[in-house]
Amino acid sequence: MSTLLRPAVSLIVLMTLITGVAYPLVVTAVAQVAFPDQANGSLVYDDQEKVRGSELIAQNFTGEQWFHPRPSAAAYATVASGASNLSPSNPALATRIGEEAGKEQVDDQGPVPLNLLTTSASGLDPHLSPAAAQYQVARIAAARNLPRETVQRLVLANTYSPLIGAPVVNVLALNQSLDRLPSGKSVN
Is 169 strand, coil or helix?
A: strand
Per-residue pLDDT of 18-52, as tens digits, reads 999 999 999 999 999 999 988 888 888 888 888 88
For residue 149, pLDDT beyond 90: yes
Q: CB neighbours of 54 closer than 8 A, spacing ≥ 6?
A: 41, 42, 43, 44, 126, 172
Task: Please report, for the chain, the start and end positions of each structural domain, with discontinuous segments joined by +.
Answer: 1-39, 41-179
Per-residue confidence (pLDDT) for residue 171, from 0 to 100: 93
Rounded (5°) CA angle 176-119-117: 85
Q: CB neighbours of 166 closer than 8 A, spacing ≥ 6?
A: 129
Per-residue confidence (pLDDT) for residue 51, from 0 to 100: 87
For residue 178, pLDDT beyond 60: yes
Backbone angles phi, psi at 179, to 5 degrees: -65, -25
Pick from 51, 54, 112: which is nearest to 81 by CA? 54
Confidence at 184, pLDDT banded by 50, 70, 90: very low
Q: What mean pLDDT is reported for the chain?
A: 87
Q: Would you give the distance in Å from CA 177 to the centre of its chain?
A: 16
Q: CB neighbours of 125 closer than 8 A, spacing ≥ 6?
A: 58, 69, 70
Per-residue confidence (pLDDT) for residue 182, from 0 to 100: 76
Pick from 87, 82, 175, 88: which is nearest to 128 by CA? 175
Confidence at 55, pLDDT banded by 50, 70, 90: confident
For residue 185, pLDDT beyond 50: no
Instruction: Identify the weakest region by mean pLDDT among 3-12, 54-63, 139-148.
Output: 54-63
H or E stretch covering 43:
strand 43-45
Per-residue confidence (pLDDT) for residue 183, from 0 to 100: 57
Instruction: Identify the weakest region by mean pLDDT among 111-115, 154-158, 184-188.
Output: 184-188
